[in-house]
Amino acid sequence: MKARNAIILLLFLNLLSLAALIGLWQTQRSAKADPPPVIPVQRAAPMEKLPAHRGTNFNWQQVESADYRAYIANLRAIGCPEETIRDIVIADVTKLFAARKKALLHSEPWKYWQPNQPDGAQLTRQRQEGLQKLEQERHLLLAALLGPQVEEELARSEEGDALDRLQFLSPTQRAEILRLESRFKEARQAVYNEAEEYGSAPDWKRLKALHDQRESELAQTLSPGDLFEYQLRNDEVSERLRRSLTGFEPTEAEFRELFRLRKEHEKKFNIVDPSDTAALAEENADGLNTENQIKSYLGETRYLELRRSSDSRFRDFYRLTQQFDLSATTAATIYDRHLQMQNEITHMQRDPALTAEQKDKILRGYQEEIDALLHQTLGEEAYARYQAAGSAGAFLGN
């Protein structure tokens, strides 16, 4: 796996990162090494005056408190439903931390003549770490106030389908997995931060050790069946596989087998030092063997469709056809004829009996044919978009 691929293994965990932050409170280091943070329970200044509720003797000032715990107790005392209490407190805490986040991102006064503030990806590592600690503190506070069960509610609101990937597990298992993933994500990020600080390559041995330890702990936490189901949904191998299946539309059985075969390869070569030529050669040989197993499983026709889905030219055409609601076979028709033409052109270019002028004439004929095919299959609007992208006239040049 290339260095870039080693980094890719972090990406899929971003779906779980916010949901898992709350788990960190259970994995804080000992007090001697790093004492746990003090969790603030003070709210922003509550409203001083609120009108009494019409028709009753109730006044909101009876509920308001600068202390979150007292505030929650008062809400419960007036019979406020727990779900509503959670909504109120989450919104209140989020608003409080939003002000602190803004102060962190905009530590200097805004000046109209200077560039806009950088987005998250451009922030210094110090500010990124500050934002991460701030988010951890928010989750810790909410968990302290509302209980660990708030973790799933936050994950559902902040991470979309993150918890949908874990629904087959029990609540206890979900919480344990979220904590585990968060712990290893933090450890891996520390390795990359250290490499960045010293301007060196990441310590591949440490990354591999962390990867193997994570796999081992997952296997100890989940049964073999649950582990496989978890990996199908959350593993970096399954994430890469999903991204590579543009237009392929595998059956569930096909996806499970494709994942199984590629996961077996990844177990042996999950992280390889790019400077280790011998290991890279072994990885390549095993990768070819894996591809042969996949080909044997899918069959010749289906395997070619799988390979096509990984081709950047096919992916571009597939996205274009999807944008204009064209038939699912349109991109395949164009791509297959293009591939056939490329092979014919290769043989033509190697034919010593043809002059340069004859080769140019044949090539122009191919170009006219493919342009006509594009126009016919894409239609006016999509073909115009294709031309505007600067691809017209160069289709056979790649």
> By the 8 A CB rule, do 317 and 331 touch?
yes
From the list 253, 181, 193, 247, the residue with the least C-alpha distance to 217 is 181
Q: Which of the residue ranges 19-33, 231-245, 341-355 would you say has the lowest mean pLDDT?
A: 19-33
Alpha carbon separation from 128 to 34, 136, 214 (Å, rounded): 20, 12, 25
Look at residue 106 and tell me if it is in a domain. Answer: yes
Crossing angle of helices 150-158/125-146, nearest 10°? 130
The pLDDT tens digits for 129-168 are 777 788 888 888 888 888 776 666 666 555 445 566 788 8
pLDDT at 339 over 70: yes
Looking at the 3D structure of the chain, how many domains does it have?
A: 2
Model confidence, pTM: 0.56
Look at residue 373 and tell me if it is in a domain. Answer: yes
From the list 170, 183, 172, 148, the residue with the least C-alpha distance to 16 is 183
Look at residue 269 and tell me if it is in a domain. Answer: no
Intra-chain end-to-end CA distance of the chain, in Å = 26
Say which DSSP state 42 is in: B
Percent of the chain with pLDDT over 70: 72
More confident residue, 349 or 60: 349
Q: Where are the alpha helices (DSSP H) in the chain?
A: 3-11, 14-21, 68-77, 82-105, 125-146, 150-158, 171-198, 204-221, 224-234, 236-243, 252-268, 277-298, 300-309, 312-323, 330-349, 356-388
> What is the model's pLDDT at position 382?
84
Residue where one domain finishes, among candidates 166, 182, 211: 166
From the list 262, 325, 267, the residue with the least C-alpha distance to 292 is 262
Exposed (0-12), middle (13-18) or buried (19+): which is 307, by Cβ within 10 Å? Answer: middle
CA atoms within 13 A on the CB side of 224: 1
The single-letter code of the amino acid at 252 is E
Q: Give Cα 158 distance to the centre of its chain.
A: 14
Look at residue 319 and tell me if it is in a domain. Answer: yes
> What is the model's pLDDT at position 8?
35
SS (H, E, C) 244-287: CCCCCCCCHHHHHHHHHHHHHHHHHCCCCCCCCHHHHHHHHHHH
Look at residue 52 and tell me if it is in a domain. Answer: yes
The pLDDT tens digits for 288-324 are 999 999 999 999 999 999 999 888 888 888 888 888 8
Residue where one domain finishes, among candidates 133, 166, 199: 166
Residue where one domain finishes, among candidates 166, 197, 232: 166
> What phi, psi does 42 have (nearest 5°)?
-85, 135
Look at residue 359 and tell me if it is in a domain. Answer: yes
The single-letter code of the amino acid at 332 is A
> By the 8 A CB rule, do 67 and 42 touch?
yes
pLDDT at 38 over 90: no
Return the C-alpha torsion angle 228, 233, 237, 240, nearest 10. Answer: 160
Spatial distance between the Cα atoms of 145 and 106, rounded to a whole number of angstroms? 29
User: Which residues does 388 contact at the CB level (< 8 Å), separation at least 6?
Assistant: none
- pLDDT, the chain, mean: 76
State the average pLDDT over residues 83-96.
Answer: 80
Spatial distance between the Cα atoms of 248 and 293, rounded to a whole number of angstroms? 18
What domain range includes position 65?
Answer: 3-166
Between CA 246 and CA 255, with CA 249 as vertex, the angle to 5 degrees is 105
Spatial distance between the Cα atoms of 112 and 105, rounded to a whole number of angstroms? 16
> What is the model's pLDDT at position 270?
79
Look at residue 245 and tell me if it is in a domain. Answer: no
> What is the model's pLDDT at position 277?
87
Spatial distance between the Cα atoms of 334 and 370, rounded to a whole number of angstroms? 8
Look at residue 136 and tell me if it is in a domain. Answer: yes
